[in-house]
Structure 1
């Protein structure tokens, strides 16, 4: 069922009772999404985008028919979306990441039969079918969740656009504009490096680590430097300066680089829908995974897992 209605209709108690009953009866809902509506209102109730509906249906039938047994698939942990670093109660530092690439990776990993945990920054996207989602806001929160889950994963993909810096101290109250100065000075401090810290885990706790590099020039050189400097196993680099690709777009292109016994190898992926690129990346990463990481590592007891949410963030 893909609901589509006015936000007031969706929020009405009778609608929510009916939705709950349908879910209890075994029906699966796709969406609804949130945003502008035909009547002029803004809120939940928008029909999910056709591409999202198709992806959900494809994942549903794939999981019922052609997936390998979950016991033979790795636990995959993926970070996605932006982070927000508060400056005061109403302002924050962030970036243009939509989360679409990370969510497409999570959907594809689940379609391949993996147990998938998605650590998501603030985005307006539905949780992919069969994926456990943990919502975070800051880089520090994402770092904590990643270091908690990575030792229990076979594959870790750092796709989130994590803020490199945060305010040294967030103001307790809204920062006011003053008439005696045309400038404002902010003191920023470095955030923890999530992908490097996961890569530096002890051998018996370290998953296969895939990083992302969003660049605007010298893509291959900067990507190979990051691959080596952070000790990654594979990196996916993309040129975010290209019109119609990268942040906020449904399409992307990438350069894949990975370590091998004979040195660094690479493969180019031309512009294509992010869902198709995600399939290429997941399948390639799984093909490189050492055999000891293909089976599930012991998971944490459910009582120790961080709280999870499948809702949408505004």
Structure 2
């Protein structure tokens, strides 16, 4: 998704944790016209978790026929975007010529590197009928050595993402390595991204990483003395053997990885260098980014221009 304004870091309600949990972030819901988005990262209280610099929870939404996602072409630099749907479908196009429907369980990895433009719309067959949309979109800050790499696009069908049973808990290792398995999804820094479904009373030990957080997409968790509500993100301390328990049936995302030096961020641009963002803003205003084949007529202007 594209940021609609220059306001990227949002105020969230923060509860201080204890023992294993540093803080619990509860994002505010934003209405984007027909569907809601909860932005957890970046916030004023927590800008990054490992290499993850952006975390949006889209929906759940139910669109009537004729309405739906319609995000015009917009640019990114120095990051990789990760799109994952629980329900619905998004049609991805980008300036490399990629044309890919994203469906539930798939992982779309778009590496912006030196610069890419993409749009997120829907196929006519989807838009012509009532349809849902629900999922997560995340951004990874690329390590400094990779920030200006050539842009890439990778699509991983649901069947390629390893699913394992961890003492009765269904777990998908989306990116990185956890519970003895490794995801095929390309990474740059050490990265952790795991999805898990827990029934009430089930427990799961969080895999290790330099920095970690747990997001509750649905349900409710307990971590030692901490209550983690639905739509809350618990940022963990550097503690071993952190175990969570589902208070009710829960769907969660575990993210983390190695510490990355804090990044500058403005609109859809992220970089370790402020001057690189200034350049990208001018390049977008001047029309110097590549066009999206099949979606050349529209674009999102830089806010305020």
Q: Same fold (TM over 0.5)?
A: no
Q: Give the TM-score, by structure 2 length.
A: 0.31
Give the structure with the higher percent helix.
1
Structure showing greater Rg: 1
Which of structures 1 and 2 has the larger relative contact order (alpha carbons within 8 angstroms, sep 6+)? 2
Q: Give the TM-score, by structure 1 length.
A: 0.31
Give the structure with the higher percent strand.
2
